[in-house]
Structures are given as C-alpha cells and as structure tokens.
A and B are shown apart, each in its own frame.
Chain A
Amino acid sequence: MKLITAVVKPHRLDEIKEALQAFGVQGLTVTEASGYGRQRGHTEVYRGAEYTVDLVPKIRIEVLVEDEDAETLIDVVVKAARTGKIGDGKVWSVPVETAVRVRTGERGPDAL
C-alpha cells in the first residue's frame, strides 16, 4: 500500500475530490495546512509597515491506495491540482506497512 499526500492550493480541493472519485477512490482525509515553497509567501502593507507573510494557506489531502494504483493516482491528483502558477504545491507517496478498518478489523487492501 502507498500513502499519497498532496499539499495544494485550497481552491483546487473540489477538482481533486472529483478526480479521485472518478478514479474510484473510496475515502480521503483533508487537513488545513500552511507553508511555503520557492515563492516564499507574500508581503502585506499596513500604513507603510511591510509584513512578510511566509506561511500561506494550503490544504493537505491524504489517500491510501494499493501499490499498483499509486503512480496513476499521483498523476490524477497533479492534473487536477495544477493551475500553472507558482505555489501549486507538491504531491508525494510513501510506503505503508499496514492499514486497519476500525469498525470491522479488516486489514491491508481490504481495509481501503
């Protein structure tokens, strides 16, 4: 199994959700996040005093998938999240040892 994590622009959430559903993903976890990449946030001005706001709002989407689906799913997420502008975010995957459905106790791919 793989855990796909995407940290992306908040307004792309709906597109990504729809793309994941179309792909057949059953569930996902969404968290509000903040951070920065190469663009380093933005500057705000209050009566001439400039404040650099490093951490910009992002959302973090996490999905568990079977190994063979991981690469395709990454492409699906990237396609749905892309605006072409700076700050579009990152998507990565990591191996997962096990997963358990709490309600039934099912393990591994059955728990997805």
Chain B
Amino acid sequence: MAPAITTLAADAPALSAANTGFMLICSALVMLMTPALAFFYGGMVRVKSTLNMLMMSFISLGIVTILWVLFGFSLAFGTDSGSIIGWSSDYVGLSGIGITELWDGYTIPVYVFAVFQLMFAIITPALISGALADRVKFTAWALFITLWVTLVYFPVAHWVWGTGGWLFEMGVIDFAGGTAVHINAGAAALGVILVIGKRVGFKKDPMRPHSLPLVMLGAGLLWFGWFGFNAGSWLGNDDGVGAVMFVNTQVATAAAMLAWLAYEKIRHGSFTTLGAASGAVAGLVAITPSGGSCSPLGAIAIGAIAGLACAMAVGLKYKFGYDDSLDVVGVHLVGGVIGSLLVGLFATGGVQSKAKGLFYGGGLEQLGKQAVGVFAVLAYSLIASAVLALIIDKTMGMRVSEDDEVSGIDQVEHAETAYDFSGAGGGITGRTTATATTVPSENTKVDA
C-alpha cells in the first residue's frame, strides 16, 4: 500500500468526498473479484466438482469478513509491534473508529480503508483453492482459511503495507499486492499440495475444463474488478497515480494475453480461449506490484514477460509431478515473483515512489530490496502453509476418500450437483425421487 502522502499531510488532510466515493467503488470492484475467481476456477474443473470449486472461493467471503472485523484489521494495520505484527484495540470489532476519522494521513475514512483492505484479505486465500481442486474436505478448507489468514495473511500484509512493517520500512515496493497477495497465495498453494498430494488419476485421466465460457466470464470479471484492486491502491486520486495505475493495468494485461497466445500458437499450434484467459490473469498479477512505479511502455514489457513466463511455467507441474490443479503456482506465484522483481528494473522514480529501477539509472538497489521481499514472503508462506496443512491432515484429515473423489466431491461435500442433465433426453437414468422434509403434507394443518 502507498506510503502517506506528505504533500497532503502538510496541510491537515480533510475528508474528500471524491476520494471516499472512488474508494467505495473500488472496494466493491475488488469484492466482485472473488466470485469472478470462483467462476474462473469453476469452469476449469470437471463437471463433478464445479460447485465445490465455487464454494471454496465463496466461503472466504464469509469467514474472512468476520475475522477481519474481529481482529484481522487490527493485526494487519494496527500499531506496529517489532516490525512483525500490528495491534490496536480500537480496531477490534471496528469498535473504536469514528465515522469521519481519516486513515493515516489520507483523505478517506478508516472505515473505507478497512473495507478496501478486507476485500484483499478475502480473495487471497480464495486464490489458493485452485491448486486444491477436487480433493479437499470442505470443513478442512474452512479451517485452513481461518488459520491461514490469521497466521499468514494478516502478518504478511502488515510486513508489506503496515506502517512499521519490516518490508515496508525497508522500501520494498508492492503497490497493490504482488507479494502480499499473489506470491503469498501461490507459495501457500505449493506448500499445501506438497502435503496433500495429487488428484486421483493425475497425468492419467483426462481432466479437461468443463466450461471454458465460465472461465472466460470469470477472467473478464476479474479483469474488470482488478481496476479497483490496482487503481484503488493509491487510496485516492488527487495526483493522478491511480489513473496511471489504471492505464498500466490495462496495457500489461493486454500484452500478457497476446504473449501467452503467441507462445501457444508457436508451441502448440492454436490460439486457445484458456490461453487468452490465463494470459490476461498472468498480466494482471504481474502489474499488481509494479504498475504504480512504471510507465505504460514498461507495463507492456512487464505484461509480455509475465505472459510468456507463466505460459511456460504451467507445464512444470507435469515435469516435476506436483499437482497444482489449476496452476496457482504457475500463474500467481510465478507472475507475482516476476512483477515484484521487475519493479527493480522498470521503476521510473516518477510515479508512486522516488525509487528508480536499473533501467532508469537506479542501479541494483531496488532490485535487491524486491528480491528480499519476494524471498521472505515466499519462504514464510510456503513453510507456514505446509505446516498448517500437515496439522489439519494429521488431525481431521485434509482429503476426501478416494471413492468420493472419483465419484465427485460436489455430491459428497455439498449434497448438490451443478447441472441436471436428466431433462436433456437422459430422463430414465437421471430420474430422482424427491422426499421433501420441509414441505407440509396434505394432512398437516397450516395456519395461514
């Protein structure tokens, strides 16, 4: 998150209706990204696990929202303690915050900042779920989210964005969440799948996406919501930085999509829809940390590099044999690392930060700082997430049984299936017997 705007702080900042309105809209846009992600992921799995994939994202909206109000905001953005974690009792239950109290030298209320940041906290664990498709107990996942945001996301958000957080104070630039969101989620995904193992039939059974239109719809909505994610991260738009970020988000995403498609055409012979959607997301991920410090031309380069690198990276799971079902590592971890490191090359020194990258005469200093940020978050998230997964796996068990996985996790975990094919001519085999327990029988008297 952006450091305090000193020019504004010189005159005591006053609540800006324009910035507040802008940030409430941005917060709503970021909220949309989580259901968008659900559809992006939901279309990529097989028919039998569509609902579970949607629910793994959706449940984050419930769990993280409550935790955030209770103690999450305080841990992430409360008064710093040892550069590691925050705590402010006023933030517990969001109980001691005045409605016109401004956030840390900015022109928006604390409530607006809290709700904007909440949406980031919601989507980050949801991102992890793509790697775990088809095979994780829903209760285990809910417990994992609860522990993970508390022990990993809230502290890491404090390191990167909290005043006093050690990466923030060191000068690591993470404009909108390359390290705190994408590397964090990607490394966590890798940590968990190394513990829980592969899907039944990985590399043997066909696991084609069941609905590419859903994937495209999800990717399109993610792209749309990402403008709130990125352009909102300056917490206002008095000096145009948010607008630059908006432009950079668009051009990097476009470049990444084209780069992924070009790679695919050369390597596999076709321009695929999944490639277009994946390339766009890779570009969005990569521009997230870097877009506040680079020029639009720099954003094109960053997007193109990320699109190409992520397209190549998604094949690694077959090579190394880890089952990252929907390529969370290949897209979010790799994209996040690339975007975060490229700040060290493409930072112009004239947008959000004065820090200059290697290509703008800044030497290697910023690159070094970025590398520390990348490595610290990657290592902490990877190890902590693997340990959490191991504890859950040894106690309540992380995976559904092999039989249940093969027959389909939707039915087992949610008592529902995504689609009813019985009306499409397969009526005999698809016929169901209804036993409605909540509908009163004819003999029951119902008071009107």
Residues of A within 8 A of B (CB): 44-51
Contact = CB atoms under 8 A, between A and B. Distances in A.
A48 B267 contact: yes
A96 B391 CA distance: 68
B208 A48 contact: no
A43 to B, nearest CB: 9
B445 interface: no
A11 B176 CA distance: 51
Interface residues of B, number: 17
Interface string B298-340: 0000000000000100110010000000010000000000000
Contacts of B269: 45
Contacts of A47: 272, 274-275, 278, 311, 314-315, 327
Contacts of B311: 47-48
Contacts of B267: 48
A33 to B, nearest CB: 13
Nearest to A51: B206
B314 A48 contact: yes
Contacts of B327: 47
B208 A44 contact: yes
B394 interface: no
A52 to B, nearest CB: 9
Nearest to B269: A45
A48 B264 contact: yes
Given A45-B272, A46-B208, 10 more contacts: A44-B208, A46-B272, A47-B275, A47-B315, A47-B327, A48-B267, A49-B318, A50-B268, A51-B206, A51-B208
B268 A48 contact: yes
B100 interface: no
B267 to A, nearest CB: 7
Most buried by B among A46, A47, A48, A51: A47
23 contacts: A44-B208, A45-B264, A45-B268, A45-B269, A45-B270, A46-B208, A46-B209, A46-B272, A46-B274, A47-B272, A47-B274, A47-B278, A47-B314, A47-B315, A47-B327, A48-B264, A48-B267, A48-B268, A48-B315, A49-B318, A50-B268, A51-B206, A51-B208
Judged by DSSP, the binding face of A is: strand
Contacts of B315: 47-48
Nearest to A47: B314
A45 B376 CA distance: 36
A48 B206 CA distance: 13
Nearest to B277: A47
B133 to A, nearest CB: 14
Most buried by B among A45, A50, A51: A45
Most buried by A among B267, B274, B278: B274
Contacts of B274: 46-47
A44 B207 CA distance: 12
B40 to A, nearest CB: 13
Interface string B266-309: 01111010110010000000000000000000000000000000
A33 B264 CA distance: 32
Contacts of B278: 47
A8 B304 CA distance: 45
The 4 closest A-B pairs by CB, nearest first: A45-B268, A47-B314, A48-B315, A51-B206
Contacts of A44: 208
A10 to B, nearest CB: 15
Nearest to A46: B274
